Amino acid sequence: MEGGWPSGGAFLLCLTVNLLLPGRSNTFTINCSGFHRHGVDPAVFQTIFNQKDFRPVINYSIPTQVNISFTLSAILDVDAQLQLLTSFLWLKMIWTNPFISWDPEKCGAISKLTVTTENLWLPDIFIVESMDVDQTPEGLSAYVTNDGHIVYNKPTRVTSICSLDIFYFPFDQQNCTLTFSSFLYTVENMLLGMEKEVWEIADTSRDIVCTQGEWELLGINKATPKMSVGSSLFDQIMFYVAIRRRPSLYVINLLVPSSFLISIDALSFYLPAESENRAPFKITLLLGYNVFLLMMNKLLPASGTPLISVYFALCLSLMVVSLLETIFITHLLHMASTQPPPMPPWLYSLLFHCTSPGKCCPVALWNENTGPGLMSTHLPGLKEPGQLVGKELGSREAELNGGSGLTSTQLADLWVQFSHMMDTFLFRLYLIFLASSIITVVVLWNT
């Protein structure tokens, strides 16, 4: 179709005819006699091909209407560090070339032809957010219909800048903008329109995108504000592409193991405080959690501080705090069994008050005893706390008030009791803090 045609007299004649009779569309009817017998004659299209450097309009005051639509076929990458969205689009553009028209009845019922795009004028539609050079493959063709419409489809890989907010990772949604605009033509020369309704674009794209990948297309909205640069006004169409991450990979690999480890840490409070196992157990858990964090670090976004990192830090610090608590309680118990210091009177009365029934101190709950392990193990010589309180404390208080001291065994018992009380109290604090932080994180994720 191309090459070989000498742009001689026939072209000049055509051009002369075109210039002499502007505005009459039948002037530009292509003589297609013989199309059905000899194939398309390149000569009849040569005039149009020679005009490809200029915008195809009869009257230059009339803007060219370019209708666009696209199908989002894949979301390839969302780079939170560089704030880039890489997607793949099939872009469709339709415009009219008034110089092309033929009568299909006379042309063997041919109503559309493909023409290589090198021979046609193409609108310079580009995506404003695109951060990469246009990687459209070469040698594409476009459909040319007998009434002058040119339908041009091209596949494009778009790397567009997008403000990504990864705070809610892995339950995040992103809203990226793709703005189609002409690079050169102002509103006097080019107007943009929609080839399809935006919901059609969204539906088609959703069907294609939903079968693959980490990201799911939620919807596409559009807006058509004009863009003014200096004194010129450019037509543009903005598409808001809303996408959502599928969180299952992260839930399974990050949240579930982390929750298991933190619940084991909470349960390890039920290991008897007197046993030697509690501290080593917690240290092992802490080590395990660190290894888990190191291994799963690559799944986290490379930049920013998502809520999930805060959650991990919180879990880690809770584990450290629970280890510190164990050390503290072990120290108290050790002190009680070796050389119990004299008990300050306020502590003594606190113990007494809190162990009497009907008081709302943490140890009042101790008698109802929800914590196994704390009560099931008694140091030799330690009596049931209720007994101790009910019978002995009263008399002891009298003794104390009377000025006489406690025997060292009784003092040791009291310290042991105090340690257990502290253990329960700190465990409850730990649980309250754990529950409130988990609830906060979950509530934040749900908003």
Tell me which residues touch ligand NAG (CB under 6 A). 23, 31, 33-34, 59, 61-62, 65, 67, 94-96, 149, 175, 193, 219, 221, 240, 242
Rounded (10°) angle between helices 256-267 and 278-296: 170
In the complex, minimum distance from the CB of residue 365 to ligand NAG, in angstroms, rounded to a whole number? 48
Nearer to ligand NAG, 4 or 23 (CB): 23
Nearer to ligand NAG, 24 or 246 (CB): 24
In the complex, minimum distance from the CB of residue 228 to ligand NAG, in angstroms, rounded to a whole number? 19
Residue type, 318: L
In the complex, minimum distance from the CB of residue 5 to ligand NAG, in angstroms, rounded to a whole number? 14
In the complex, minimum distance from the CB of residue 97 to ligand NAG, in angstroms, rounded to a whole number? 10
In the complex, minimum distance from the CB of residue 32 to ligand NAG, in angstroms, rounded to a whole number? 8
Nearer to ligand NAG, 145 or 417 (CB): 145
In the complex, minimum distance from the CB of residue 426 to ligand NAG, in angstroms, rounded to a whole number? 45
Nearer to ligand NAG, 2 or 188 (CB): 188
**Helix/strand/coil (H/E/C) assignment for every residue in the chain:** CCCCCCCCHHHHHHHHHHHHCCCCHHHHECCCCCHHHHCCCHHHHHHHHHCCCCCCCCCCCCCEEEEEEEEEEEEEEEECCCCEEEEEEEEEEEEECCCCECCHHHHCCCCEEEEEHHHCCCCCEEECCECCCCCCCCCCEEEEECCCEEEEEEEEEEEEECCCCCCCCCCCEEEEEEEEEECCCCCCCEEEEECCCHHHHHHHHHHHHCCCCCEEEEEEEEECCCEEECCEEECEEEEEEEEEECCHHHHHHHHHHHHHHHHHHHHHHHCCCCCCCHHHHHHHHHHHHHHHHHHHHHHCCCCCCCHHHHHHHHHHHHHHHHHHHHHHHHHHHHHHHHCCCCCCHHHHHHHHHHHCCCCCCCCHHHHHCCCCCCCCCCCCCCCCHHHHHHHHHHHHHHHHHCCCCCCHHHHHHHHHHHHHHHHHHHHHHHHHHHHHHHHHHHHHHHC
Rounded (10°) angle between helices 256-267 and 408-446: 160
Nearer to ligand NAG, 193 or 386 (CB): 193
In the complex, minimum distance from the CB of residue 214 to ligand NAG, in angstroms, rounded to a whole number? 18
Nearer to ligand NAG, 190 or 261 (CB): 190
- The residue among 311, 321, 322, 300 whose CA lies nearest residue 259 is 311
In the complex, minimum distance from the CB of residue 165 to ligand NAG, in angstroms, rounded to a whole number? 12
In the complex, minimum distance from the CB of residue 23 to ligand NAG, in angstroms, rounded to a whole number? 5
Nearer to ligand NAG, 149 or 359 (CB): 149
Nearer to ligand NAG, 156 or 177 (CB): 177
In the complex, minimum distance from the CB of residue 112 to ligand NAG, in angstroms, rounded to a whole number? 14
Nearer to ligand NAG, 46 or 330 (CB): 46
Return the number of other C-beta atoms located less than 10 Å from residue 437's C-beta: 16
Nearer to ligand NAG, 9 or 139 (CB): 9
